[in-house]
Amino acid sequence: MNAKTLKRSAVGVAVAVALSAGYVAGHRNVPAPEVISPAQAAMMPAEAAAKTGIPDFSGLVETYGPAVVNISAKHVVKQTAMRGNGGNGGQGAQGGNSLPIDPSDPFYQFYKHFFGGVPGMQGGDDGGGQADVPSASLGSGFIVSNDGYILTNAHVVDGANVVTVKLTDKREFKAKVVGSDKQSDVAVLKIDAKDLPTVKIGDPRQSKVGQWVVAIGSPYGFDNTVTSGIISAKSRSLPNENYTPFIQTDVPVNPGNSGGPLFNLQGEVIGINSMIYSQTGGFQGLSFAIPINEAIKVKDDIVKTGHVNRGRLGVAVQGLNQTLADSFGMKTPSGALVSSVDPGGPAAKAGLQPGDVILSVDGQPVTDSSDLPSQIAGIAPGSKAKLQVWRDKASKQFDVTIGALSDAKQVASADTPAQMQGRLGVAVRPLTPEEKSSASISHGLLVQQAGGPAASAGIQPGDVILAVNGRPVTGVEQLKQMIAQAGNSIALLIQRDDAQIFVPVDLG
């Protein structure tokens, strides 16, 4: 909002006050104001909610607002001079990050860092040199212990040289970054103070879609701004965010809200506001919060050991649709479908295979593939876990020793003459020994052309067909027989680039 708009609003308030004063002056028989007792005042928000359906958040804000802080992080960054959008530098939340963004990416407008403007498109001259450019970012946070521990987003303080925390009583403290975890986007700060106001921690698992929630933060640097909305969805999986089941809300959050708390109506923090989806850089009804139970685990690990411990199963998984579920003999498409198993990993040692569907972990249901990574990550490495798995049209149980999280990649490539599989609609050929070695696979057929049902299902040239309905494919004739004997739908396990996925194919 610019200065003119603010000024115009002030004039409007003044006119309203003057009119109100004139009205009272011209009406001498105005009844005396009614005196309301504290007990009556306490009942008014509940009565208002009952009449309008809209709750009163004033008590929540009064009680827990003082525990919400403003965070200023100063950086020195290497930046390439480019002609572009200078971000919100003049509005308090500068776009100090310089990140490469592909404008053709459908998530180009997914402003993860809440700093306004497009990262990597800072204003400047047309030169191509690099320079040390000081920048500052504003964010929010909240106090979780009265001795000065504060939670915020990792991206708020990432690369910061100086972090300053300002309380609602105007006191300012230099903060120490105890640690941060980029995978969960959680950072822990510490200030040297005592007897601080703190928030109350809630359980996001008890929250429901449609319930009211409240955000307090510093959008565009406006301290302790309160906004409200409802929970739109839970356990939302987002691109490149494998270990966080986000809470989606329609709460208005903007640059500067990042790192602030998301409250339920009981005044409990159930999340940390972290991301927005926007075409403008501002609020558009899609905001995402990190569940507070995930954040508290990260905080406890960082404070205790200096780093975050995450469990690893050693599988790649994908979601199920009804066609895939039918091909595996399942009534409903729930669970996490294992598309690949890391050789020598915890899952491989326990006997899991591609084509298995993980239904639960230690009795906790896996309703969708996006549930599994956070469930496994929350188990301490070295611990035992019981997996309920669907295999060969029956439920089986596997005991697995959870490993420590690490990354592994597999690659596949190829090309040459092929044979066409009529009913499926693909031209395939065997892989060469060199191709198998470079892709770290022992079998498979390279797709050179795709048409008919295969093309309709999304099969592309360059894919490697590894299995049909869970049975490994080792030769062209074998594939032909499998397709001839198959029903109206099959599940192909393919390797594409560095990932293995199941593709449901309707053969009609």
* Residue 150 CB neighbours (<10 A): 27
Backbone conformation region of residue 278, classed left if phi is above 0, alpha if psi is from -120 to 50, else beta: beta
Q: Is 443 a catalytic residue?
A: no
Strands 268-276 and 200-201 come out as parallel
Burial of 81 (0-12, 13-18, 19+ CB in 10 A): middle
β-partners of residue 87 are 94
Q: How far apart are CA 142 and CA 304, in angstroms?
A: 20
Q: Identity (one letter) of the amino acid at 456?
A: S
Q: Considering 75, 140, 185, 301, which one is annotated as catalytic?
A: 185
Catalytic residue among 258, 274, 340, 489: 258
SS3 assignment for 178-242: EEEECCCCEEEEECCCCCCCCCEECCHHHCCCCCEEEEEECHHHCCCEEEEEEEEEEEEEECCEE
Check if 399 is active-site.
no
Query: Under a CB-based contact definition with an 8 Å cutoff, are residues 240 and 228 in contact?
Result: no
Coil, strand or helix: which one is 235?
Answer: strand
Q: Residue 420 in contact with residue 397, Cβ under 8 Å?
A: no
Please tell me the distance from the alpha carbon of residue 208 to that of residue 185, in angstroms, as a whole number. Answer: 23
Query: For residues 189 and 151, what is the distance between their CA atoms, to the nearest angstrom?
Result: 6
Active site residue 258: yes
Secondary structure of 128-184 as H, E, C letters:
CCEEEEEEEEEEEEEECCCCCEEEECHHHHCCEEEEEEECCCCCEEECEEEEEECCC
CA 47: distance to chain centroid?
37
Nearest CA to 249 among 266, 263, 264, 229? 229
Task: Tell me the C-alpha distance between 192 and 186, whole Å.
Answer: 20
d(CA 389, CA 312): 17
Q: Tokens 């409802």 identify what position?
A: 230
Determine the Cα–Cα distance for residues 353 and 347; give it in Å rounded to an integer: 8
Residues 108 and 257: their CA atoms lie apart, in Å, by 20
Q: Are 321 and 504 in contact (CB under 8 A)?
A: yes
Report the alpha-carbon distance of residue 87 to residue 79 in Å, rounded.
14
Give the active site residue among 135, 140, 155, 356: 155
How far is it between the farthest Cα atoms of the chain?
A: 101
Q: Which residues are catalytic?
A: 155, 185, 258
